């Protein structure tokens, strides 16, 4: 009885090993786990595909490094241009003010020897007018503050005084220092006296 069972077990084991052999028809090289029946063309195709991937990877890496270097150069260049711009930002305004400065120098010389005050006053007014026109061309505007409602975005209140009538309450009664805008942006608040 034991011998029959042993015989059946052996047959069962032989059948399993025969089925495994049928499923795995390609012999395997025990040293490196590769199929022995693989053709050299298949191996070459795998190597060429691997080489192509390595070449693509190297090309992409090179492209990335070039883009990074180009961006770094761009940052340095724009930073240098920004510094140069800040250093020479007012150059055109200064150059345009030089004729006014020359006029003031001439007016100063004229006051030393002038006997007619009216002529000197007229010359100073002309220079003042020339300076104002030049600044207006550059975008500078004076604020009109007197008799306007007090606005903290435009005015700086120095003091409050009693208003002569109810209409002047909360309005600018006097201007101690003019306010200016440059291209519609406030660059100096008007210092004013407000009615209360």
Rounded mean pLDDT of 72-95?
A: 87
Tell me the three state secondary structure of residue 175.
strand
C-beta atoms surrounding 195 within 10 Å: 20
Q: How far apart are CA 186 and CA 144, in angstroms?
A: 13
Domain locations in the chain?
140-196
The pLDDT score that the predictor gives to residue 130 is 92
pTM, 2 dp: 0.53
The pLDDT score that the predictor gives to residue 40 is 64
> What are 132-167's pLDDT values in tens digits?
999 998 889 999 888 889 988 999 999 898 888 888
Q: How far apart are CA 141 and CA 172, in angstroms?
A: 19
- Quote the percentage of the chain above a pLDDT of 70: 78
Question: Computed over its alpha carbons, how large is the radius of gyration of the chain?
Answer: 47
- Quote the percentage of the chain above a pLDDT of 90: 30
Kindly list the distances between the CA atom of residue 98 and the CA atoms of 91, 101, 110, 115, 120, in Å, as whole numbers in the listed order: 11, 5, 18, 27, 20
The pLDDT score that the predictor gives to residue 84 is 85
Task: Please tell me the total number of residues recorded for the chain in this structure.
Answer: 196
Strand partners, 177: 191
The pLDDT score that the predictor gives to residue 37 is 58
Closest by Cα among 105, 146, 111, 112 to 127: 105
Considering only residues 189 and 35, tell me which one the structure prediction assigns the higher pLDDT: 189
Average pLDDT, the chain: 80
The pLDDT score that the predictor gives to residue 78 is 94
Inter-residue contact 195 to 163 (CB < 8 Å):
yes
**In the predicted model, is pLDDT for residue 64 greater than 70?**
yes
Helix 117-137 and helix 91-113, axial crossing angle in degrees, nearest 10: 180
Which CATH superfamily includes the segment(s) 140-196? Head domain of nucleotide exchange factor GrpE (2.30.22.10)
Considering only residues 81 and 111, tell me which one the structure prediction assigns the higher pLDDT: 81
The pLDDT score that the predictor gives to residue 24 is 46
> What are 7-60's pLDDT values in tens digits?
445 554 554 544 444 444 444 444 444 555 556 666 767 778 888 899 999 999
Closest by Cα among 150, 147, 142 to 186: 142
Q: What pairing do the DSSP bridges indicate for beta strands 185-188 and 155-161?
A: unpaired
Phi/psi of residue 33, nearest 5 degrees: 75, 15
Residue carrying structure tokens 């519609």: 184
């Amino acid at each position: 009885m034991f011998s029959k069972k042993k015989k059946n077990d052996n047959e069962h084991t032989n059948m399993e090993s025969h089925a495994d052999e049928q499923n795995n028809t390609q012999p395997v090289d025990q040293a490196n786990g590769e199929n022995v029946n693989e053709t050299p063309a298949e191996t070459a195709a795998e190597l060429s595909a691997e080489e192509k991937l390595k070449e693509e990877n190297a090309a992409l890496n090179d492209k990335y490094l070039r883009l990074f270097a180009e961006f770094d150069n761009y940052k340095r260049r724009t930073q240098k241009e920004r510094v140069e711009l800040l250093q020479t930002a007012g150059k055109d305004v200064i150059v345009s003010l030089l004729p006014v400065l020359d006029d003031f120098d001439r007016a100063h010389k004229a006051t030393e020897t002038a006997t007619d005050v009216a002529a000197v006053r007229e010359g100073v007014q002309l220079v003042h007018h020339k300076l104002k026109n030049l600044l207006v061309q550059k975008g500078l505007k004076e604020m009109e503050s007197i008799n306007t409602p007090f606005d903290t975005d435009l005015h700086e209140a120095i003091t409050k005084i009693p208003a002569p009538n109810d209409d002047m309450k909360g309005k600018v009664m006097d201007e101690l220092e003019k306010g200016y805008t440059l291209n519609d942006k406030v660059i100096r608040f008007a210092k004013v006296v407000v009615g209360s």
